[in-house]
Amino acid sequence: MKIVEQIKQPIAFEMELFEKKFKLSMSSKVALLNRITHYIVNRKGKQMRPMFVFLVAKMVSNGEISERTYRGASVIELIHTATLVHDDVVDDSNRRRGFFSVNALWKNKIAVLIGDFLLSKGLLLSIDNNDFDLLKIISVAVREMSEGELLQIEKARKLDITEDVYYEIIRQKTATLIAACCSLGAASVKPNSHHIESMRKFGELIGMAFQIKDDLFDYGDTQIGKPTGIDIKEQKMTLPLIYALNLAPKKEKNWLINSVKNYNKDTKRVKEVIAYVKNNGGLDYAISKMKAFQNEALQILETYPESHFKNSLKLMVSYVIDRKK
């Protein structure tokens, strides 16, 4: 059995029901909108975010969930989908998960409006049901994701990213959404409980490990998920590169910065940068940090009683580190 199916097993019924509810939450009176949202729903990914919501909710409440849990999962998925549609416009990207992106098929103007529509649907789903605590969790995540993207753009111009700033960028850009999924799952069944903060921290740690793993793919020998060296071409400062830069003697440091700033489209030079980072311990350092985040996340899980849901979350933590794309 594939690991994702194994993770999903204890919540298979909930995930099936969720898909039906999620499709309904996207409906509109405008035919064009329905056509586009139908296209989006049929090209969904592994749905890790709703899985986090359901697994956490069930783990903290001995297997009980409520309508609020389904709404929470739908809100996360609506808002996450909105950010992906907008991201593709910002990045001028024509593909998403191997398929054409919304902006490639329907152009930027429609893609931006679709993202706005999905965002408003998510907000209204919470407001119409008085789920203001859930709305606050997701709204904070959206604010942080925007701040993280802008911080990264600002720093990419100067290439002056320290390790601490890097952690702040990935915490906001990536980890905050997974943290929101986990705290939202807890809040949906145990409002005002200590589980909300405990699970927020758990999700944040997994998100940090997830992003470092993503950064490591940039140094792979095979094309997995994204082409090798793409982060360097986009002048993104990732942990392996930051580590190598910090340790490099002045001459080599200048060469690295010059390569990323002015020769980031030169394939030969990008390969030389990748080789330098590998040979100077950048990858090993990033892997050790990723594993530290993973272990901290697992320690939080150990404070909960044994259950199928806890086991699936443990598998999820391993999957984040061991995935091949």
For range 193-205, the mean pLDDT: 96
Q: Which of 31-35, 101-105, 144-148, 259-263 has the lowest mean pLDDT?
A: 101-105
**Beta strand spans in the chain (E):** 95-96, 99-100
* Other Cβ atoms closer than 10 A to 287: 16
Higher pLDDT pick, 30 / 285: 285
CA torsion, ordered 286, 288, 290, 294, to nearest 10 deg: 180
Report the pLDDT value the prediction gives residue 96, as an integer from 0 to 100: 64
Residue 223, pLDDT above cutoff 60: no
Q: pLDDT of 129-164, one tens digit each?
A: 999 999 999 999 999 998 998 888 888 777 778 899
Q: Summarize the confidence of residues 221-246 as an average pLDDT.
A: 75
Tell me if residue 236 falls in helix, strand or coil. Answer: coil
How would DSSP label each residue in 103-142?
A: HHHHHHHHHHHHHHHHHHHHHHHHHHTT-HHHHHHHHHHH
Q: Residue 95: which pLDDT band, with cuts at 50, 70 and 90?
A: low
Read off the pLDDT of each residue in 58-80 and give the average, rounded to a whole number: 91
* Residue 225 Ramachandran class (φ > 0 left, ψ -120 to 50 alpha, else beta): left
Per-residue pLDDT, averaged over 178-199, amounts to 95
pLDDT at 47 over 60: yes
Please report the pLDDT score of residue 97 as a whole number. 60
* Averaged confidence pLDDT in the chain: 87
Higher pLDDT, 65 or 224: 65
- What lies within 8 Å, CB to CB, of 142 at 6+ separation is 79, 83, 119
Listed in sequence order, the residues at least 6 apart from 241 whose beta carbon sits closer than 8 Å to its beta carbon are 231, 232, 256, 260, 273, 277, 282
- Looking at residue 224, its pLDDT comes to 46
Per-residue confidence at 12, pLDDT binned at 50, 70, 90?
A: very high
pLDDT at 98 (0 to 100): 62
Output the six-digit token pair for 232: 């360097």
Q: Which residue has the higher pLDDT, 265 or 292?
A: 292
Which tokens belong to 105? Answer: 């098929």
Q: Which residue has the higher pLDDT, 115 or 212?
A: 212
pLDDT bucket at 225, cuts 50 / 70 / 90: very low
